[in-house]
Amino acid sequence: MKKINRLDKRFLEQFLSTPLVRDKLLKIQEEIGIETLSRACAWCKKTVAEDEPVYMLPLSSKIDLSNLHGLYIPLTLFSGEILIALVPTKDSDAWKNGKHLMLMACCEECLEQMETALKNDIQTFAYMDEASKR
Ligand SMILES: [Zn+2]
């Protein structure tokens, strides 16, 4: 696992903890709509129907995301690919169990591809936990 540069971590934390960042993300979320965001596969971006099963891939973040509870945030991979992840609310079981980011996949194939991509990438600030079907 790669170690995060201490200066980068501090910078990112300061940036992510500002009210401006929260407001901006909230605005984007309202524009796109929570319905759309919550049903979109983080990998292929397909919209999943309400009654279809989805897979959840939780990540633990080394960066403090507590300013971003309940918000969808973009994770940019080195490849340029953007994954949309949810920061669980403060009182959710996910957050209490150290799951700071939740990625949703529409199918096993997307889940596997996302896991592989993340293994070589996002570890700089987050690490993966076991995926679960919901
Ligand atoms: Zn998908």
CA of residue 18 to ligand 1 center, whole Å: 32
Q: What is the DSSP letter of 75?
A: E
Residue 119, pLDDT above cutoff 80: yes
Q: Write the DSSP assignment of 80-113 as a string of letters.
A: S-EEEEE---TTSHHHHTT--EEEEESSHHHHHH
Residue 1, pLDDT above cutoff 50: no
CA of residue 2 to ligand 1 center, whole Å: 27
Residue 34, pLDDT above cutoff 60: yes
Query: Which residues place a Cβ less than 5 A from the ion ligand 1?
Result: 41, 43-44, 46, 106, 110
**Please, what is the average pLDDT of the chain?**
87
The pLDDT score that the predictor gives to residue 85 is 95
Residue 109, pLDDT above cutoff 90: yes
pTM summary value: 0.84
CA of residue 94 to ligand 1 center, whole Å: 22
